């Protein structure tokens, strides 16, 4: 792998919030806490959905980059 490909993969990894375990657990914990209090957390679930969709797009971009390089 050349340097530019590694840099692109690193930048994509930095942008991927879902790969960060602390962020992932925090969002899940917030959803669970609100459900325990009897509140349906639509905004938290929408944000989590957005993060997961972005994670899937980044994963596909990484896969394409690895196949090219």
Residue range 1-58, pLDDT digits in tens? 688 888 888 888 888 888 888 888 999 999 999 999 999 999 999 999 999 999 999 9
Q: pLDDT tier at 69 (50, 70, 90 boundaries)?
A: low
The confidence score (pLDDT) of residue 26 equals 92
The pTM assigned to this predicted structure is 0.77
**Angle at which helices 21-36 and 42-68 cross, to 10°:** 160
The confidence score (pLDDT) of residue 43 equals 94
- Could you give the CA distance from residue 47 to residue 65 in angstroms, rounded to a whole number? 27
- Could you give the CA distance from residue 41 to residue 61 in angstroms, rounded to a whole number? 30
């Amino acid at each position: 792998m050349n340097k530019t490909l590694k840099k692109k993969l690193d930048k994509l990894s930095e942008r991927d919030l879902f790969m960060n375990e602390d962020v992932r657990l925090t969002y899940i914990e917030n959803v669970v806490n609100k459900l325990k209090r009897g509140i349906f957390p639509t905004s938290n679930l929408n944000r989590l959905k957005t993060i997961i969709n972005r994670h899937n797009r980044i994963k596909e971009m990484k896969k394409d980059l690895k196949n090219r390089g």
